[in-house]
Structure 1
């Protein structure tokens, strides 16, 4: 193959928020969790709760059932028929929540799972990532929240079960250790996950996990770190983390007395802090490579790394160097007002995307009403609601509020079958609701300014934001950004180009004429792409369009054109900057006549450019009127005569 287009997939699911919080699994904690889930379900979507044991599964299920939440249960000790029924009801949205062991999930291709909750530390990051990946498959903001207790980290023997292979047992223990490290991590969770699976990450903050979004606190922990490290060193590195902490806290256990560890100089010095606090510090020192875990059979010992030795050596004198480290939630909770372990405190954030869509209050009500319309249609058809249309399509319909089938057909994601079969059901509810709440049809409703996100708040990873800033604001070329001095390694120009287009789709300002010049998208190439799209009849996949184009038209040309089409941009000068009075004046007959001479279809921006003697808004109104009369239609961004 000559210059094949190569794409490498990523483990990164940017729409998923990763959150982790310690809990104590008390009755009050479960009640708070139930209340939080109940509030969260009001925004639509489904929830899966994964438990590590059948006992926990049944306990959480009963608590949710008592709260009258539509909940199902799924575990290995249930009969086949009961499991199949739970699976069927959940898939069809007749159950809002599924509480299950890891036995549930294979074959679940449900796009509108908004939340996955892990009630306990998973046994490996592989299973955690697979289970968390079952939420947000439609690309909308979703959440994976993990609640752990310290007791979860001592389950290596339970997970090893009947395994007779020493290699297998050691592998299980090592996997659990990595899951524990993830739970106790004070830095970016997404970065940790991606690097664990072998993906290189340049940023230090993803902006979409609890560590990156929380108000991270740091302070000098040199004294406490010195005490813990020196105690571990005095014990010879032959024990786990619990024993040195017991020594620091002055325990009189038989093991400590028999080994005369109560004679150590560190004995009893750390009794001001709880065992949980010291364990959290141990986790921080592990994540910053001052300590290391060693697995022998199923037993774990902890010892000091070379970096830890260097810190101890430098701290022997009077002038101990500062050691500023991040504080975990366990540490800050205890320091602020005693232990708050087990408090939910809004850890299940509102991720319904209503705020990011800038929905007004009436629009939120309409959105939920249209979800009910979809549910009723699905029940009548005996299918799952997402098989009728996705949540994202419902959001677009809510924003546009079409008054006719022609307007409905113009919405992205709505096909002719949907319009013909279900259109009347949706249009009737939209019309009645809009009349009741005085909402404008066929356009955007007034948006409350407090809900609009500023540029700095739009969702873009640091790497992508930096690429956009260097190109748009600093004026660097794609080539210069990809090979910018100081990088540990160069980035492919195609990657930088993709970052810029993603920034455009997120609403960032883009100098389109400059980008077209840089990528080489000329009016002639634009015309060829339009013609190819007309032949293919769809923009869902790029390869069929590329096959219709000459070799000199690249994927970069095609991506740029499609992005501009989606954002209603043009590589010509903005028509609003042209002097009115120069050119043709738009009328319905004139537009119809001009479209007849362009059977392959025309972009709205080109129609405006041709009739530059009229205002852009007037041309748009005329096109809308022609659509309403079924004289023209819009497909893939191109207007054609019916």
Structure 2
């Protein structure tokens, strides 16, 4: 990485930082990037979600003459990005296929007349000769590529449309080009820099650590009860539930709706209108939960997501990191929970095995093995995530994952494993997991009686544990290749050599178990809000209602007005004048002029009440 870019000699940036964004200081690395761009230097920056990368190009876009072009991959997010910029007084617009001809023409006229600080465009726009020619006659201050990992075939979300961006340095030879991504291994980083042909770029690789995120893996239980129980701890808070298939997304969303939980589905199989409507309902706090495939979320600006639940196995550690990164973007605490079952592995393998390209298949298998290792391990989750991105955790215990908080314990289950294996042998390897567990628990169901399995020596010997324990143990035995499972509608279990060694006492079986801690979830995600008094929490809810009303009136998401972090500070400090309000983080001069009166009036009513 380069030596730090000088933070002096080009004038103080503190004044415009506070005037535009309402921040009294930069977050780590932001000022170095801003100064590099203002000095005309190319930039490559890996910054975690929530690290404030948009400020890194929005601030110089305002201060430098001309228009900054920002390449953004998802059309559906551009309007929200523009709304957020305009809320800070930045002259911003977007250009994509969602606009009709008249609106596109108006945006292009604004570009040509230098009336824009920022213009968000889709990557495919650069494949159009007409657009490229138009740019040569405009004053462009810089070109910014967001989600730059999309240009790398080694990245987790490669997009062919991004390949046209490799000609940016020729198209705009006299302006800096900046590439930003939240997730990139060093191999992907090198590929991005080479493909974009960045010229001696200022390189910054920020820490991948997100201290405000709590990482947790729970063993997935069949049925609806586990997920519903989890969501009870997040009542009234925004969250994302990721599922692998469109069907599971639809089924989960419908199940939650039936239970009175405000949830909507999101996946590529929905019509454009419904998909956009559902996303906007979530972003505007009209529903609390979005149930989605990974088609949802890249670059999402919603800052108050308090939890992300992976109800199925993610496809890679990079995907997991990026998807969990959508939580806690406002800096407040958030929780990331993965529901893991070894039974999910064959489902992922089915799709991988269908891949035609050998290299792609090998990469997918390697990615799957790393995700399984992450989920199965009793090593600090944060340490494993950081090591994946070639970063070391500077402390022994992160304190903010299930492993470091001692929520897991390793138990010797060799004897119980031998019970399972013996049951398979005594039933001639002709039955599936459900029937074997019924034998161990001493069930008197009809199938047990018909086969005479109530007379087996192993019948009822597993009553010391519940059905959930035995199913987990069987999953573990399949994963460690002690037990095989046949193909077909009714798969049967049979011993492998590893199972024979366990039966002979030549190998031990250890299983990770969760030590449940009741009543912890809600407090763990509330962050600064949890520190408020009960009276101040009431004010927070009143301000949140006011924010929602103003947002609806203006047709923007609530976070565009103020983040949850700003509302917490307002509820805590309770300013009574515009000058006091200006000292709150996230309130700049433009937002003060727009919103000081209604918020100060609400605070005054609370104090008087």
Range of TM-score over shorter length: 0.5 to 0.7
Q: Indicate the residue corresponding to 1:398 in structure 2.
A: 571
Secondary structure of 1:212's counterpart equals coil
Q: Is 1:126–2:347 an aligned residue pair?
A: no
CA distance in 1, matches of 2:219, 2:399: 21
Sort the Cα spacing of 1:159 and 1:127 in 2 relative to 1 into closer, same or farther, 3 A: farther
Cα distance 1:275–1:71, how it changes in 2: closer, same or farther (>3 A)? Answer: closer
Alignment partner of 1:328: what SS? strand
Q: CA deviation at 1:372?
A: 1.0
What SS class does the counterpart of residue 356 from structure 2 fall into?
A: coil
Counterpart for residue 67 of structure 2 = none
CA distance in 2, matches of 1:2, 1:196: 22
2:421 to 246, 265, 276: 246
Distance apart, 1:192 and its partner CA: 1.7
**Partner residue in 2 for 1:412:** 585
Cα deviation, residue 85, structure 1: 1.6
- 1:424 aligned residue: 597
Of structures 1 and 2, the one scoring higher in RCO (CA 8 A, sep 6+) is 2
Change in CA separation of 1:215 and 1:348 when aligned onto 2, cut-off 3 Å: closer
User: Equivalent of 1:387, from 549, 555, 560?
Assistant: 560
Aligned to 1:371: 544
- Structure-2-length-normalised TM-score: 0.53
Aligned to 2:215: 18
String of CA shifts for 1:54-97, please: whole Å, max 9, x gaps: 22211211122223433221112111121112222222222221
* 1:417, distance to aligned residue in structure 2 (A): 1.9
The change in CA–CA distance for 1:88 and 1:161 in structure 2 (over 3 A counts) is farther
Q: Does 1:58 align with 2:250?
A: yes
Q: Name the CA distance, whole Å, in 2 between partners of 1:199 and 1:292.
A: 35
How far does residue 112 in structure 1 lie from its aligned partner after superposition? 1.3
Partner of 1:106 in structure 2? 298
Structure 1 gap segments, 5+ residues each: 232-243, 257-266, 294-300, 334-343, 437-642
For residues 86-485 of structure 1, the aligned pairs below 5 Å read 86-160=278-352, 162-217=354-409, 221=412, 246=421, 250-254=425-429, 272=462, 275-276=470-471, 278=473, 327-329=512-514, 348-353=521-526, 358-436=531-609
User: Is the Cα–Cα contact under 8 Å of residues 184 and 280 in structure 1 kept in the other structure?
Assistant: no
Indicate if the aligned counterparts of 1:52 and 1:101 stay in contact, CA closer than 8 A. Answer: yes
Q: Secondary structure at the match of 2:378?
A: coil
Structure 2 Cα separation of the partners of residues 252 and 113 of structure 1: 50
Q: What value does the CA root-mean-square deviation take over the aligned residues? A: 4.1
- C-alpha deviation, 1:249, in angstroms: 5.7
CA separation of 1:147 and 1:216: change in aligned 2, threshold 3 A = closer
- For the residues of structure 2 that align with 1:138 and 1:58, how far apart are their CA atoms? 29
Aligned residues of 1:37 and 1:348 also touching (Cα < 8 A): no
Pair 1:226–1:169, CA change in 2 (3 A):
farther
Q: Is the 8 A contact 2:233 2:522 kept in 1?
A: no
Counterpart residue number, 1:575: none
- 1:526 aligns with none
Cα 1:117–1:3 change in 2 (3 A) is closer
Aligned residue number for residue 611 of structure 1: none
Residues 383, 282 of structure 1: alpha-carbon distance in 2 compared, 3 angstrom cutoff: same
Partner of residue 235 from structure 2, selected from 37, 41, 46: 41
Q: In the TM superposition, what whole-angstrom CA distance separates every residue of 1:572-623 from its partner, at most 9, and x where no partner exists?
A: xxxxxxxxxxxxxxxxxxxxxxxxxxxxxxxxxxxxxxxxxxxxxxxxxxxx
- In the alignment, the residues of structure 1 paired with residue 346 and residue 338 of structure 2 have an alpha-carbon distance, to the nearest angstrom, of 17
| Aligned counterpart in structure 2 of residue 74 of structure 1, from 252, 266, 272 | 266
Deviation digits for residues 403-436 of structure 1, max 9, x if unmatched?
A: 1222212323322222221111011111111111
| Cα distance in 2 for residues equivalent to 1:149 and 1:2 | 43
SS in 2 for 1:406: helix
Task: Compute the displacement of 1:199 (Å).
Answer: 2.0
Structure 2 CA distance for aligned equivalents of residues 407 and 125 of structure 1: 44
SS at 2:343's partner residue? Answer: helix
Q: 1:89 to 1:419 in 2, by over 3 A?
A: same
Distance change in 2, residues 1:415/1:94 (3 Å): same
Offset at 1:51? 0.8
Q: Which region of structure 1 is more displaced relative to structure 2, 166-175 or 111-120?
A: 166-175
> 1:190 touches 1:206 (CA, 8 Å); kept in 2?
yes
2:144 aligned partner = none
Q: 1:227 to 1:368 in 2, by over 3 A?
A: closer
Q: Secondary structure at the match of 2:404?
A: helix
- Higher mean C-alpha displacement, 63-72 vs 98-107: 63-72
Give how far 1:13 is off.
1.2
Q: 1:499-521: per-residue Cα shift (whole Å, max 9, x none)? A: xxxxxxxxxxxxxxxxxxxxxxx
Structure-1-length-normalised TM-score: 0.50
Mark the CA change 1:154 to 1:54 in structure 2 (over 3 Å): closer, same or farther: same
Paired residue secondary structure (2:570):
helix
Residue pairs, 1:518-597, within 5 angstroms: none
Per-residue deviation at 1:48? 0.9
Quote the offset at 1:181 in angstroms. 2.5
Is the Cα–Cα contact under 8 Å of residues 382 and 393 in structure 2 kept in the other structure?
Answer: no
Matches of 1:249 and 1:364 in 2, distance apart? Answer: 57
- SS of 2:256 mapped into structure 1: helix
Shift of 1:280: 7.2
Q: Which residue of 1 aligns with 2:105?
A: none
Contact 2:529 2:537 in 1 (8 A): no
